[in-house]
C-alpha cells in the first residue's frame, strides 16, 4: 500500500495544497504540521527543475508526507526522472482519452503493468532495492498515478479513463474545464455541475476515488458532498498572499 493509499484508508477525505513556485523543501514540514495530507508540485505551470523536485521529494519521504508531481506532459523523460527522484506519484494534466491514461501507466509502472525503465541505485529505492523482482512489485504498489480531466472530451471519456488498469484516481481541473465549456470562472453552470457528477460517478464505478483542485473552500465542500475524496486547495503562494492581505486589513 502506498503512503497516499494509507492516508485515504484512514480518512474519508483528505486535503492538500499545491507548491507552485517556492522551491523550499521544508515548506512540506509546515504543511504537515498545519494538518495538510499531501502536496502537488506543479511542474506543468511551475518552473521547478529536477534537482529541486528531488530535494522536495527527499523531505517528503523523510517525514511521510506524499509528494505528487503534476507533470508537464505524458512523456517518458519527466515521468522517469520524477519517479526515480522518489516522488510518490504523478498527476497528468489534460488527460482526454484512455489511450493517454495507458501511456501514463506504460511510462510510470514497471512490467508487467507498464514498461518503466529500470535504474535502481537511485533515491526511489533508498539506494538499496534488494531483490529486483520484489522491488519492482513494491514500486508498482507505491507509485500513484492520477489523471486530470479538464475538457469536455475528457469528461466524455471519463469512464474509459477510470477503467484503465494502473490509474489510481481521477481529478477535475475546474478552471480549464469551465473555460472549455465557455463559462470561465463559473463552476455552477448546469453543464459544469453535470461534469462534476459524471467524473465522480465514473471513478466510483471503477472503484477509484476522485478529487478536484480549486481555491474556494465552499466549492470544495460541494464537491465533497458529491462524493469526491481528494482535495487540493490553493497553493503556497496563494495562501501566503491571502494571509498577508488579511494581516494588512487587520492592521
Q: How many angstroms separate the CA atoms of 198 and 241, rounded? A: 34
Residue ranges in 143-233 assigned as alpha helix (H): 152-156, 158-162, 174-180, 190-205, 217-226
Classified as helix, coil or strand, 16 is: strand
188 flagged as catalytic: no
> Of 11, 45, 124, 188, which residue is the catalytic one?
45
* CB atoms near residue 147 (< 10 Å): 28
| Residue 112 DSSP symbol | T
116-145 burial: b if 16+ Cβ within 10 Å, else e: beeeeeeebbeeebeeeeebbeebbebbbb
Q: CB neighbours (10 Å) of residue 74? A: 23
Cα torsion angle, 3, 112, 80, 170, sign: negative
Query: Around 230, how many Cα atoms within 13 Å sit in the side-chain half-sphere?
Result: 28
Residues forming the active site = 45
Amino acid at each position: 500500500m502506498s503512503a497516499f493509499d494509507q492516508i485515504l484508508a484512514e480518512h474519508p477525505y483528505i486535503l492538500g495544497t499545491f507548491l507552485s513556485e517556492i522551491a523550499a523543501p521544508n515548506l512540506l514540514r509546515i504543511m504537515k504540521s498545519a494538518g495538510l495530507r499531501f502536496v502537488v508540485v506543479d511542474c506543468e505551470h511551475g518552473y521547478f527543475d529536477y534537482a529541486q523536485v528531488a530535494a522536495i521529494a527527499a523531505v517528503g519521504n523523510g517525514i511521510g508526507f506524499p509528494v505528487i508531481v503534476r507533470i508537464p506532459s505524458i512523456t517518458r523523460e519527466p515521468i522517469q526522472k520524477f519517479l526515480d527522484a522518489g516522488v510518490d506519484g504523478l498527476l497528468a494534466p489534460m488527460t482526454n482519452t484512455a489511450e493517454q491514461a495507458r501511456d501514463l501507466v506504460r511510462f510510470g509502472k514497471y512490467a508487467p503493468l507498464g514498461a518503466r525503465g529500470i535504474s535502481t541505485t537511485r533515491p526511489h529505492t533508498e539506494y538499496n532495492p534488494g531483490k529486483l523482482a520484489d522491488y519492482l512489485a513494491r514500486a508498482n504498489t507505491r507509485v500513484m498515478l492520477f489523471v486530470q480531466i479538464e475538457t469536455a472530451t475528457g469528461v466524455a471519456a471519463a469512464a474509459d479513463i477510470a477503467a484503465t488498469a494502473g490509474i489510481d484516481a481521477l481529478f477535475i481541473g475546474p478552471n480549464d474545464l469551465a473555460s472549455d465549456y465557455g463559462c470561465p470562472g463559473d463552476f455552477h453552470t448546469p453543464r459544469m455541475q453535470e461534469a462534476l457528477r459524471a467524473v465522480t460517478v465514473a471513478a466510483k464505478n471503477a472503484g477509484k476515488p476522485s478529487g478536484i483542485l480549486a481555491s474556494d473552500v465552499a466549492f470544495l465542500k460541494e464537491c465533497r458532498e458529491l462524493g469526491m475524496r481528494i482535495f487540493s486547495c490553493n497553493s503556497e503562494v496563494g495562501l501566503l498572499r491571502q494571509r498577508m492581505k488579511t494581516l494588512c486589513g487587520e492592521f
